[in-house]
Structure 1
């Protein structure tokens, strides 16, 4: 799948002030992550299990 067709969601911790903003696009096998200020910039794709481990560590 091309990442151009993904549905991106901005983090609830991101504000409109131009600070650090992260967007994710969750798919069945992977979670894609990008900087919302550089949408055409680099993106990180990680397995869903790794994302779940990361989220459990953060909460």
Structure 2
């Protein structure tokens, strides 16, 4: 699947000022992540299980 075929959306945790934003696209096989400020750069993809572990880890981290 090409990048243009993915349904990208901005993370709900991205700032509303246009800074430090990421976009994600979900497929059956993976979660794709890219920098919304420069969508021409390559994105990365991680399997659903790895993504779930990452989100669980981030969600349990203490807030500064």
TM-score under structure 1 normalisation?
0.89
Q: Which residue of 1 aligns with 2:30?
A: 30
For residues 31 and 23 of structure 2, the distance between their equivalents in structure 1, rounded to whole angstroms, comes to 10
Q: Which runs of 5+ in 1 are unaligned?
A: none
Q: Which runs of 5+ in 2 are unaligned?
A: 60-64
| Runs of 4+ residues over 3 Å off in structure 1 | none
Q: Which residue of 2 aligns with 1:47?
A: 47
TM-score under structure 2 normalisation?
0.83
Q: Number of matched residues?
A: 59
